[in-house]
Amino acid sequence: MKRLAKAVVFLLCLIPFGWLAWRWNHHQLGFNALETVARETGDWTLRFLLLTLVITPLRKIPGLNGVIQYRRMFGLFAFFYGTLHALHYFWIDRLWDWQEMYLDFTMRRFFIVGLIAWLLMILLAATSYSAAIRWMGGKRWQALHRLIYVIAGLGVLHYYWQGKAFILNPVIYGAILALLLAIRVWISIARSRSQGSPARVKPS
């Protein structure tokens, strides 16, 4: 059953890509297809990052500990859609024009934070497997993978800064991220308090 559930979730995660590819091939992406692809791949990158982060508080709810099996999958799908977002820029939008890309990545702040976020995602994706945990050690691996909060924050900034006017979506993503970060801090504080409190001795 677990394998079947994982297969179903995997296919569901591919639906946005399949739907976007179908619309691209059938010219159903509107007047500015390039902007539509960039926006949708970027949106799904942030959504999967937030899905990955929401696993930690969800697994604390009784009966939901099993959701931990999907955390790595969601994280890798965030990297998948983030890479599509980056490749769309490099290949389709800029046509591998290194001069234009150099100007973008040195002069425009939303490109700079986007590139940093994607490079950090590469690092996390490359160390997302069990062999990396054994090689690095559990504590160092966990410390490294907490960079996902930084990546999500950079992704929100990348989205917000590219708009010439107020954009609601990155504000919503940022609010969700702030809530998840607050929950994570609260869980860490509660754990440290429970570990540091002396055990109660029952009276004889």
Per-residue model confidence as pLDDT tens digits over 84-133? 999 999 999 999 999 999 999 999 999 999 999 999 999 999 999 989 98
Asked whether the beta carbons of 167 and 160 are under 8 A apart, the reply is yes
- Where would I find the H helices in 59-167? 71-87, 98-107, 109-126, 130-136, 138-145, 147-162
Per-residue pLDDT band at 196 (split at 50, 70, 90): low
Cβ within 8 Å of residue 141, ≥6 positions away: 127, 132, 133
Indicate the pTM of the whole model. 0.91
pLDDT for 191 = 79
Query: How many residues are there in the chain?
Result: 204
Q: Average pLDDT for residues 137-160, to the nearest whole number?
A: 94
Asked whether the beta carbons of 94 and 135 are under 8 A apart, the reply is no
Name the residue with higher pLDDT: 1 or 41.
41
Backbone dihedral angles phi then psi of residue 76, each to the nearest 5 degrees: -70, -30
pLDDT for 173 = 96
pLDDT for 20 = 97
pLDDT for 1 = 76
Q: Average pLDDT for residues 136-155, to the nearest whole number?
A: 94
Q: Does 202 score more than 80 pLDDT? A: no
pLDDT for 204 = 40
**What average pLDDT does the chain have?**
91
Query: In this structure, what token pair is assigned to residue 2?
Result: 């677990």
